[in-house]
Amino acid sequence: MREIVFDTETTGLSPKDGDRLVEIGALEMVNRVETGRSFHIYCNPEREMPSEAFAVHGLSDAFLANKPLFSAEVGNFLEFIGDSPLVAHNAQFDFGFINAELDRCGHQFIAMDRMIDTLAIARTKHPGAKHSLDALCSRYGIDRSQRVLHGALLDAQLLAQVYVELTGGRQIGLVLAEEEQAATPADLRTAEARPQPRRPVREPRPHAASAEERARHAAFVSQLTDPLWPAESQ
């Protein structure tokens, strides 16, 4: 199954208040394994960067000034994601900004039923714990030493590892693969062809009751009231 794990950086918290998308990072997974294919763009937001947002991701007005508009990259983005499920952390936030940009370009919204929210999964799996991306990386032993500032592609790469752990971990797949490999017909034929150790032949032990044992049983049964096994049937 193909899935796209992605993250965004923005000028603020709400597209309804005029905040814009400035970065998208996405990567492809097939059967929960990264394929190496990724998509990454910076976008000129056509507005000034608030200091609060700059403190989070470090993307300045000067850096973004010569970057393309989202409308120039929308075709490449839509081609990359295709019709695959989209995985994000606090996905409502990211979907909101992407759909706002799509609407601005005259494209249809991405359907919300394609959304997989790792924040919701984490809250269900670890109630009462911290559910930020940093906290989940710490919980699962995922190295985030390069994450000095937020960056969409780096965060998507970290999230892909978190997503695998939240949905069962890699070890389950490895064990299943080993079991499948061990049960191949070639292995079974090899096992059948191995010489089997010779065991000593033993004579069967006598198991019938002796005449004395039958007589003692009959005497015991004769003392019972309505026995299940009458003495004469023995």
Residues catalogued as catalytic: 150
DSSP 222: T
Which distant-in-sequence residues (6+ apart) come within 8 Å of 152 by Cβ?
A: 6, 7, 8, 9, 23, 24, 25, 40
For residue 38, give the nearest of 55, 25, 48, 22 by alpha carbon.
Answer: 25
Residue 10 contacts residue 53 (beta carbons within 8 Å): yes
| Residue 217 is labelled as binding a ligand | no
CA atoms within 13 A on the CB side of 131: 16
| Residue 9 is labelled as binding a ligand | yes
Beta bridge partners of 26: 6, 39
Q: How far is CA 154 from the centre of its chain?
A: 18
Residue with tokens 């409502």: 92
The residue length of the chain stands at: 234
| Residue 203 is labelled as binding a ligand | no
| Residue 7 is labelled as binding a ligand | yes
CA distance 60 to 69: 15
| Residue 155 is labelled as binding a ligand | yes
**C-alpha distances in Å from residue 62, one per residue of 14, 20, 49, 54, 58:** 22, 16, 10, 12, 11
Annotated binding site for a divalent metal cation: 7, 9, 155
Annotated binding site for substrate: 7, 9, 52, 57, 155
Annotated binding site: 7, 9, 52, 57, 155
